[in-house]
A and B are shown apart, each in its own frame.
Chain A
């Protein structure tokens, strides 16, 4: 596809006898919000790990903006504009909220072999950081130490940090995990706004959110893609209903 931002081709990863990614091929065009769903253990987080560069694939290729990034380390992929958030919150807990985001801004503002000027008084770091906080609704919490935030605020900060790296594409690993209904609704609103300007790969268990947001959905089961298509197509897909959605409907009674 000519305007594909992210192309995955035959991506495979084994952990011992378990196949976490079974020759996954996927194409995310620019501007799409692509959701990946699947039952627990389907290999969704492993896929994000491979896309972000934390997990080396056993086989296959990853192309971003036409360039091969399969073997690039995590920090280089971030520099190219591939930003991720973490399913299990991964922040600088002993820093303030603003310091967290400012550090993400700093990562993309040239090298950091600058030894003298006070980083906390540099508007070129603080101003974009405050802007990113405002976008996720954390503007009022800038000076709070992160370990004192609520779980929902941690999730918002996760997004703000990914945004502060001025990415071209977001890899979001269950941004709504553990959130209450109100917080989830606000996150959906935030993602809907981000969707207008960014390409997003979203992993999420909250089906309501997924079907509300996604342009296309890919269903992963045991590391293999069993279906990929528009929300309507996925909803109508018999195999998906059986493997995943049906199972959930049964669980919910």
Chain B
């Protein structure tokens, strides 16, 4: 994070500047949708950063990471439904329950490797997903509307779009800083060593399991907090939040943006969610002069463009977008 003028640092600086000014720009142009969109980008970026801790740095490909978004969200939703609206209660519960669940999943799944690890994390996520579907008292399949956002005794008003936006941004930056400190500490060297060569780690005297499990729990807890934010953002929580495709989205953000990079997951979240919004519009605009009204239906197939784009990044930029930017510096 030494501030020199490399392409990567310039892009990150511009990105942060843009994120910091979104509410101002939205106010000037009277475009409230931008704040909503970027709040979502920031929250999912935070979730992606937490996944990066275990996937990028730790080499643990969790295919059920969205489950913590759901657990954090339900912690807020269920407590609100039962009359506990204080964020001082809701958010610690979201963190704690997510951490506890991660401890359970990690304790069992981290004894396996590769495809088995991926499948076990997926299986646990699916378990909670169907548990949510069966939660009749809390809306089951249809989900649960959260009428009041978390209350913080007048310190901050989350119902205010701008205040909420900046809170999310601060928490995202805190997360990025925390993970940066973490991965460069002794602890971080251990989890990266275990990614690189677990056998050698044990041969030189590290009981790697406990360190990997700790990282797994931390990632779950951070993602649980992102889930609490997401539930506040949408005012709604349903099992769909932790659908396995959402876990897949988080993996795409990390890989697209750049694994084991501080800002990579955020770049990935911005890229993926912006493309989701922009591609249909672009396709419609480009196809309309040729195909006329059919362009509207063509725009529904925007993922046909997104897929190959993702493929190109995976094939030709192994460090993701961040790796491309870092490579531009060297080359």
Q: A interface vs B, CB < 8 Å?
A: 52, 54, 73-76, 78-79, 83-84, 86, 90-95, 99, 102-104, 106-108, 112-120, 122, 125, 161-162, 164-165
Contacts and interface: CB of A to CB of B under 8 A. Distances in A.
21 contacts: A84-B203, A90-B199, A95-B193, A102-B189, A103-B190, A103-B204, A107-B204, A108-B205, A112-B190, A112-B211, A114-B185, A114-B186, A115-B185, A115-B187, A115-B188, A119-B184, A119-B189, A120-B184, A122-B186, A125-B186, A161-B200
Contact of B214 (A84, A108, A113, A119): A113
A76 B185 CA distance: 23
Interface of B: 181-182, 184-190, 192-193, 196-197, 199-208, 211, 214
B204 A161 contact: yes
Nearest to A117: B185
Contact of B196 (A92, A112, A114, A162): A92
Contact of A78 (B181, B188, B205): B205
Given A112-B211, A116-B181, A165-B204, A106 B186 contact: yes
Contacts of B201: 103, 107
Given A103-B189, A114-B187, A93 B196 contact: yes
Nearest to A146: B196
B205 A79 contact: yes
Contacts of B204: 78, 83, 103-104, 107, 161-162, 164-165
A125 B184 CA distance: 14
A99 B189 contact: yes
Contacts of B211: 112-113
A142 B190 CA distance: 19
A46 to B, nearest CB: 16
Given A106-B186, A114-B186, A120-B184, 6 more contacts: A90-B197, A92-B196, A106-B189, A113-B211, A115-B182, A119-B186
Given A90-B197, A91-B197, A74 B202 contact: yes
Contacts of A79: 205
Nearest to B199: A90
B205 A165 contact: yes
Contacts of A54: 199, 202-203
Contacts of B189: 99, 102-103, 106, 112, 119
Interface centre among B187, B190, B202, B205 (most CB of A within 10 A): B205
B181 A112 contact: no
Contact of B197 (A92, A114, A115): A92
Contacts of B197: 90-93
A164 B204 CA distance: 9
Nearest to B211: A112
B188 to A, nearest CB: 7
A99 B189 CA distance: 9
A107 B206 contact: yes
A41 to B, nearest CB: 22
A250 B236 CA distance: 81
Contacts of A94: 196
A93 B185 CA distance: 19
A52 to B, nearest CB: 6
Contacts of A120: 184
Interface centre among A52, A86, A107 (most CB of B within 10 A): A107
Question: 6 tightest CB-CB pairs across the interface, nearest first?
Answer: A78-B205, A107-B205, A92-B196, A74-B202, A114-B186, A112-B186
A26 to B, nearest CB: 21
B198 to A, nearest CB: 10
A92 B200 contact: yes
A193 to B, nearest CB: 21
A106 B190 CA distance: 9
Given A90-B199, A91-B197, A94-B196, A118 B185 contact: yes
A95 B196 contact: yes
A73 B182 contact: no
Interface centre among A52, A73, A116 (most CB of B within 10 A): A116
A122 B192 CA distance: 17
Contacts of A84: 203
A120 B181 CA distance: 12
A93 B202 CA distance: 16
B326 to A, nearest CB: 14
Interface centre among B189, B203, B206, B208 (most CB of A within 10 A): B203
A190 B158 CA distance: 66
Contacts of A83: 203-204
A9 B46 CA distance: 56
B193 A103 contact: yes
Contacts of B199: 54, 90
B185 A119 contact: yes
A141 to B, nearest CB: 18
